[in-house]
Amino acid sequence: MYDDIAFNEENPRPGVIINSPNGADVYEGVPKDYTGEDVTVNNFFAAILGNKTALTGGSGKVVDSGPNDHIFIYYTDHGGPGMLGMPTSPYLYADDLIDVLKQKHASGTYKSLVFYLEACESGSIFEGLLPEGLNIYATTAANAEESSWGTYCPGEDPSPPPEYETCLGDLYSVAWMEDSDVHNLRTETLHQQYELVKKRTANDNSAYGSHVMQYGDIERSKETLFLYMGTNPANDNFTFVDDNSFRPSSKAVNQRDADLLHFWYKFQKAPEGSSRKAEAQKQFVEAMTHRMHVDQTMKLIGKLLFGITRGPEVLSTVRPAGQPVVDDWKCLKSMVRTFETHCGSLSQYGMTHMRSLANICDAGITTEQMAEASAQACPSVPASPWSSLRRGFSA
């Protein structure tokens, strides 16, 4: 069964959208079932479960699957330990996603499911959470404690066309898509693609790459990609070669810094004295100010809760491999909401501090203690648009 449902964060806009330097428009003419404000956690889960009555907005399309169907899910956004971004609030939490996947399995409405996930710390969404036996095979752009990386960015080789001031894609996503474009997916297996994508995304084990991971029922990776993606008949005579013809760029951009790169190139290219240059400078400064606010506030909260010496140690602790980022997810969501109530939105950048908030929970701190420390650290919510709670809380 091929029941494609498109979730897209951005509202349709004029112009050509490409994901490689000399690529074709990948947006125009592609059906988009949920865009903008309709891209919500609730609609995403409802679509997976085939629950039309739970939908709000959008086309109303869901994964109306049966027991013999193969499902493919590709999700890309910003992320943090245990959390995935959304263009709306609240964000998506790992425990809720795993619960939905378990519900889908219990309903008997698929034969197998493959999940490709692009986000920073994306491994934390499945690490210690996705059990075997659900007939689910998942791969992620990064492990549970590292960022993913943007590619085809301004200043790289190859670089996007000069009119683009942004990265065109992500290392992991570009790797699996470009591999799928040129291979015969009737014969290439999930495992073969995983190995090629893993090698390319590691970027020769340089500082500009991440570790692609796999979770769940690994034996499903013996299946061919055709079951989940279909294939291009033009590639039917392609003989698979266990090597990657696509070479990674010489460097990549940490995905958390992609917005700063955009503002910087926008500023550099704008004419002196123009409103565009002033706007780019304002956006860059606002983004940096927000980052410093979140970083410094989180450090101060740690010191208020655990002391000057122990605070940084507690916040930076990484649990052993195989364990989820936190045991009490309700506590984690409560800590996020408490922080944001007093200090403003975490935003996409602030997701990097989700592990600190998880460690606060694991240390037994109560919501009341967190509220007191947050109130001391943040006498008021900053006026920055990045800190605004206009769109709601992240939890």
Residue 340 has what pLDDT? 97
Structure-block tokens of residue 52: 């039309």
How does residue 204 score in pLDDT terms, banded at 50, 70 and 90?
Answer: confident
> What's the pLDDT tens digit per position in 6-34?
655 443 335 689 999 988 899 889 999 99
The pTM of this model reads 0.94
Residue 348 region by backbone torsions, left for phi larger than 0, else alpha for psi between -120 and 50, else beta? alpha
Extract the tokens encoding 148. 């993913």
Report the DSSP pairing between strands 79-80 and 70-76: unpaired
CATH number attached to the domain at 65-254? 3.40.50.1460
CA–CA separation, 197 and 222 (whole Å) = 16
Active site residue 78: yes
Architecture in CATH for domain 270-387: Orthogonal Bundle (1.10)
What values do phi and psi take at 325, rounded to 5?
A: -65, -25
How confident is the model over 321-343, as pLDDT tens digits? 999 999 999 999 999 999 999 99
Domain ranges of the chain: 65-254, 270-387
Residue 151 to residue 174: CA distance in whole angstroms: 8
- Rounded to an integer, what distance in angstroms lies between the CA atom of residue 383 and that of residue 256? 22
Residue 216 has pLDDT above 90, yes or no: yes
What gap in Å lies between CA 333 and CA 350, rounded to an integer?
Answer: 14
Q: Catalytic residue, from 70, 105, 120, 361: name it.
A: 120
**Catalytic site includes residue 120:** yes
pLDDT at 217 over 80: yes
What is the band of 387 on the pLDDT scale with cuts at 50, 70, 90?
very high
